[in-house]
Amino acid sequence: EVQLVQSGAEVKKPGESLKISCKGSGYSFTSYWIGWVRQMPGKGLEWMGIIYPGDSDTRYSPSFQGQVTISADKSISTAYLQWSSLKASDTAMYYCARLRYSYGMGSYDAFDIWGQGTMVTVSS
């Protein structure tokens, strides 16, 4: 079964650092882009960035550039999202998701496999 399994919920204080994870299984982890998506409480979905685990090529949404770091360790099929100094406004559910590869188009398109989400709560 193709799946992405994310790390558990986190409760942190402002200014603390955090790294959450997303482990892929059931497919070639190095051959598909993995994206991160934020969902603030009661709000919609926001794309944060993507990484290609095969070579760690990373692209960020302008809204999140410099605010977070996306990385991957292909040896353990895991992608990461990290913060160096959390703010209360980082409180949200964070999803990882795999980009679907279109063999017909020879390109990646929609997010077809999603992790279960990691809830991050930042509060003093």
Residue 28 has, within 13 A of its CA and on its CB side, a CA count of 7
Tell me which stretch binds another protein (CB under 8 A): 16-24, 64-72, 83-91, 94-102.
94-102
Q: Which residue has the tokens 């703010």?
A: 87
What's the CA gap between 111 and 124, in Å, rounded? Answer: 34
Query: Binding to another protein (CB under 8 A): which residues in 31-50?
Result: 35, 37, 44-47, 50
Number of residues that bind another protein (CB under 8 A): 22
At its nearest, how many Å lie between another protein and the CB of residue 20? Answer: 14
Token digits of residue 4: 């992405």
Q: Which residue has the tokens 């895991």?
A: 78
User: Pick from 77, 95, 120, 122: which binds another protein (CB under 8 A)?
Assistant: 95
